């Protein structure tokens, strides 16, 4: 908000200019397990329209990461209806700092060559698999992730690993012959990154079904840490949190209020209990939305432990 206010305060000074927004993302807070992504990313979402209202020609935004190896981080922006749609691009942290230093010494000229373009929509779809419940098969616990990723990398952390963990959680339950009372439904949502249409389409198609809970894995595959839980019934949330010792052997014993996910948010608005998978994200934003988000950085041991914790959570929700 401070940066947005500063952009607005510049007023006519931005007219005809290429605006560089050099907002740093604070370092990861290990004590609170806080990435600061949610607050820092706001300027990437709205910066282009804010600058355009003041007559800017284009906007360059410092990548949303606390650590950088000269890699720009892409991501979504939202054009407001009441502002011109000006070009926007992400800068690597190092380049944003360099431009800021140069501008402090005098006028700087920047020439942009952007290859991005908007293509017509294409048909896509969610991928769904189920482990049918033994007693209440018409009641569902969703275990979700998103199958799409930004085009610059492989999307291994965001969110390929989350999808592997979701599928593996169901496979573990089946292998152990732990068929729960309710159906466990694995949903690989499409189009999370730039529209959430997979999550919205799932909600439209299945909102008449009774959902006992929804889990989303969309935070990479660092070492397991815990789960964030949100629901309309505080006692139910408290009862689940009391089961934290069951998750401790997997390193996922930090169960706390407050969690969910983008794809399951339409269900949560209907009052469905939402659970966010919270692994260690201290290095997640080093590669998030970059060319460096590739599969060799995935630790298979973390995949297995996170999947086991998700299987346990899904089983608890499906049994309660």
Query: Active-site residues: which are they?
Result: 192
* Residues in contact with 48: Cβ distance below 8 Å, sequence separation at least 6, in sequence order: 59, 77, 79, 83, 85, 86, 88
Other CB atoms closer than 10 Å to residue 3's CB: what's the count?
A: 18
Instruction: Give 237: exposed, middle or buried? Use CB within 10 Å, 0-12, 13-18, 19+.
Output: buried
User: What is the token pair recorded at 202?
Assistant: 């799932």
Which bin fits 196, alpha (ψ -120 to 50), beta or left (φ > 0)? Answer: left
- Could you give the CA distance from residue 101 to residue 188 in angstroms, rounded to a whole number? 44
Q: What is the enclosing helix (H) or strand (E) of 184?
A: strand 182-189
End-to-end CA distance of the chain: 42
Q: What is the layout of strands, in order, in the sheet containing 18-21?
A: 18-21, 58-62, 88-91
């Amino acid at each position: 908000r401070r940066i947005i206010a500063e952009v607005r305060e510049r007023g006519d000074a931005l007219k005809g200019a290429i605006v560089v927004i050099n907002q740093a993302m604070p370092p990861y807070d290990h004590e609170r397990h806080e990435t600061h992504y949610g607050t820092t990313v706001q300027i990437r979402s709205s910066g282009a329209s804010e600058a355009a209202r003041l007559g800017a020609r284009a906007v360059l935004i410092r990548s949303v990461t606390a650590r950088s190896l000269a890699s720009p981080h892409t991501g979504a922006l939202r054009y407001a209806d009441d502002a011109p749609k000006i070009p926007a691009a992400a800068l690597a942290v190092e380049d944003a700092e360099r431009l800021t230093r140069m501008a402090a010494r005098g006028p700087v000229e920047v020439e942009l060559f952007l290859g991005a373009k908007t293509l017509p929509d294409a048909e896509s779809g969610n991928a769904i698999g189920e482990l049918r419940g033994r007693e209440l098969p018409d009641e569902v616990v969703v275990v979700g992730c998103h199958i799409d990723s930004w085009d610059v990398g492989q999307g291994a952390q965001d969110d390929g690993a989350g999808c592997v963990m979701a599928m593996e959680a169901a496979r573990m339950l089946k292998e152990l012959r732990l068929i729960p009372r309710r159906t466990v439904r694995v949903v690989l949502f499409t189009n999370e990154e730039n529209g959430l249409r997979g999550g919205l389409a799932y909600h439209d198609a299945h909102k008449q079904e009774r959902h006992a809970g929804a889990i989303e894995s969309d935070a990479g595959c660092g070492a397991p840490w815990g789960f964030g839980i949100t629901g309309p019934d505080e006692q139910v949330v408290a009862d689940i949190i009391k089961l934290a010792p069951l998750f401790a052997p997997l390193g996922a014993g930090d169960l706390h209020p407050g969690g969910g996910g983008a794809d399951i948010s339409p269900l949560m608005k209907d009052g469905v209990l939402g659970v966010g998978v919270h692994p260690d994200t201290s290095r997640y934003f080093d590669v998030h939305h970059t060319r460096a988000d590739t599969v060799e950085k995935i630790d298979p041991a973390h995949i297995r432990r996170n999947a086991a914790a998700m299987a346990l959570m899904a089983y608890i929700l499906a049994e309660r």
